[in-house]
Amino acid sequence: MHASQLRHLRSTTPNAAATAPSNTVAAPPVKHHRSVAPLLPMTLLSKTRPLLVLDLDETLVHASVEKVPHEVCFGVNMGAQTVNVYVKIRPFAREFLKAVSAQFEVAMFTASLAAYADQVLDYLDPAKMYVHHRLFRSHCTNVDGVFLKDMSLLGRSLERVAIVDNSPIAYSLQPENGVPISSWFDDPSDTELMKMIPFLEFFAQVQDIYRATKTFRGKFHPMHASVH
């Protein structure tokens, strides 16, 4: 399998964006607004809890079409052929999902295709207990070939939304809602998800999520501190 096949399955967000300071990522004009209908349905949870939006690739997992050491492998139907995808799970991913799902309404929002991402989520959360909503590339806003996650389309008050994503450009339309996390590929000693749990639990309790995310960026990711 060729690595380029993975780009069709997964986010095409440029790798450089994962490490670029948010203040250098100018929000481009949105050319295509897909729909005025909210992307998420109203639920009982949404009345009482803030929404936590979670990225998938390099935030919770890393996937490859090359046969590398992996936790799970599955075939993804690409129409004319089935591509084997080898997936590694970031350390503490399940503990993280369990913890945040007790405090937030949780939506996975990935720029990857549903044919791939649905299978990863079915593996990570088979009983659908932790991730309440799933959004895929088709729900992203395509700006010059980059798939942005426009949280104004979700149908939630933006003061009650936080997004954890390794690519700042993915939330560049609403950078003040962003909770940065480092990109993960294969480090078995990574503890970023575990370390983030207490801060997200704090976010869930505060009224001013903008202030909370700003504090997080300034304290733990100084390069993001000048966003706001």
Q: How far is the CB of 172 from Mg ion (least distance, A)?
A: 13
Site string for Mg ion, 44-73 (x = CB under 5 A): -----------x-xxx--------------
Q: Which residues, listed in sequence order, are joined to residue 88 by a DSSP beta bridge?
A: 62
Q: Give 159 or 187: the residue with its C-beta nearer to Mg ion.
A: 187
| Between 46 and 57, CB nearer to Mg ion | 57
Q: How many CB atoms lie within 10 A of CB 3?
A: 9
Which of 158, 143, 128 shows the shortest CA–CA distance to 38? 158
Tokens of 153: 């389309």
Q: Which is nearer to Mg ion, 46 or 110 (CB)?
A: 110
The encoded tokens of residue 102 equal 């007790």
> Site map for Mg ion, 164-183, x if CB under 5 A?
--x-----------------
Q: Nearest distance from residue 137's CB to Mg ion, in Å? A: 12
- Please answer whether residues 166 and 143 qualify as being in contact, where contact means their C-beta atoms are separated by less than 8 angstroms: no
165 noted as active-site residue? no
Residue 192 makes contact with Mg ion by CB under 5 A? no
Span 90-149, contacts to Mg ion by CB under 5 A: none
Print the SS3 string covering 5-30.
HHHHHCCCCCCHHHHCCHHHCCCCCC
Tell me if residue 147 falls in helix, strand or coil: strand
Among the listed residues 55, 125, 150, 165, the single catalytic one is 55
**C-alpha 164 chain-centroid distance:** 6
Catalytic residues, by residue number, are: 55, 57
Binding site for Mg ion (CB under 5 A): 55, 57-59, 166
